[in-house]
Amino acid sequence: MTAPESTPATTAEARLAAGVRLEVEGELATVTLCHPQRRNAQTPAMWRALAEIGRELPGSVRVVLLRADGLSFSAGLDRAMFTPEGIPGEPNFLALAASSDKELDAAIDGFQAAFTWWRRPDLISVAAVQGHAVGAGFQLALGCDLRVCAEDVQFSMRETSLGLVPDLAGTKPLTDLVGYARALEICATGRWVHADEAAALGLANLVVPAAELDGAARDLAAALLAAPRDAVIETKALLQGAGGRSYEEQRAAERAAQARRLRDLAGIGD
């Protein structure tokens, strides 16, 4: 007997139970972490809900705003995962450690799916971050293209302090933003990075008073939506690929992208 397909209502209910809410308004999607009573601690169920949203977003969406209810963006991984009892219905760390290499790799790959789609080429993602963004919370914010931060923001990468490594796709964007030496120091010490330093390092595109965070993030989303979609997509691709190209290769990529835009605007594209 096959299970019935999920309806939008039951899907939304399951997401809410996992601590995630999705709202789509035309070209803007807003994803909200909504377990403020737990400081939006993350679980595999939350990760599955986030990954599902990435797979099922309407093609009309151009900008995704990631925000969180409550005083903290996310306090990181739910510590129940470290206990022998774990989270009901989920493997704890002892079970993960005892699995085969293939099974363990697949499990972590599945967890990472919640963190990787935010930078896909057809979207621009903006994280609005307040209070604590710890471990998995820090990495979720790093998964987005841009970050608007409240003045009370506190980033910390605590995995190494717990005997683990940051494995939720955060090490690449962190290193790209702040450089190898600073990224190593932040990860190895697990120290707090506050708003002023986050802005100076490039972790925060904008820092505002906490009361203005949602408004500032929405203003940025509106500005991103004001430009033509195809031009934004081409520009994002140029910038994403720039680090792996030589100067001459980047010039060639610019020429090719501009040729596509000119022909498209003239109505003589492919």
Tens-place pLDDT, residues 29-51 = 999 999 999 999 999 999 999 99
Strand partners, 155: 133, 193
- What pLDDT band is residue 81 in, cutting at 50, 70 and 90? confident
Nearest CA-CA partner of 165 in 174, 176, 178 = 174
Kindly state the tokens that stand for 20: 């995630």
Tens-place pLDDT, residues 170-208 = 999 999 999 999 999 999 999 999 999 999 999 999 999
8-226 has which CATH code?
3.90.226.10
CA gap 60, 24 in Å, rounded: 10
Query: pTM here?
Result: 0.93
The number of beta carbons lying within 10 Å of the beta carbon of residue 226 is 8
pLDDT of residue 5: 40
Torsion of CA 131, 132, 136, 142, to 10 degrees: 50
Rounded to a whole number of angstroms, the distance between the first and last alpha carbons of the chain is 47
Residue 136, judged by CB atoms within 10 A of its CB (0-12, 13-18, 19+), counts as buried
Stated length of the chain? 270
Tens-place pLDDT, residues 118-173 = 999 999 999 999 999 999 999 999 999 999 999 999 999 999 999 999 999 999 99
Q: Which amino acid is at 215?
A: G
User: Residue 4: pLDDT above 70?
Assistant: no
Largest CA-CA distance found in the chain, in angstroms, rounded: 64
CA gap 140, 182 in Å, rounded: 19
Tens-place pLDDT, residues 232-258 = 999 999 999 999 999 999 999 999 999
Coil/strand/helix, residue 68: strand
Q: Which residue has the higher pLDDT, 73 or 12?
A: 73
pLDDT of residue 1: 31
Ramachandran category for residue 151: left, alpha or beta (phi over 0 → left; psi -120 to 50 → alpha): alpha
Tens-place pLDDT, residues 103-113 = 999 999 999 99
pLDDT of residue 84: 85
pLDDT of residue 201: 98
pLDDT of residue 8: 54
Kindly state the tokens that stand for 67: 């925000």
pLDDT of residue 83: 86
What stretches of the chain show up as alpha helix (H) in DSSP? 8-18, 44-56, 93-98, 101-116, 136-143, 171-178, 180-189, 195-201, 213-226, 229-242, 247-266
CA gap 229, 122 in Å, rounded: 8
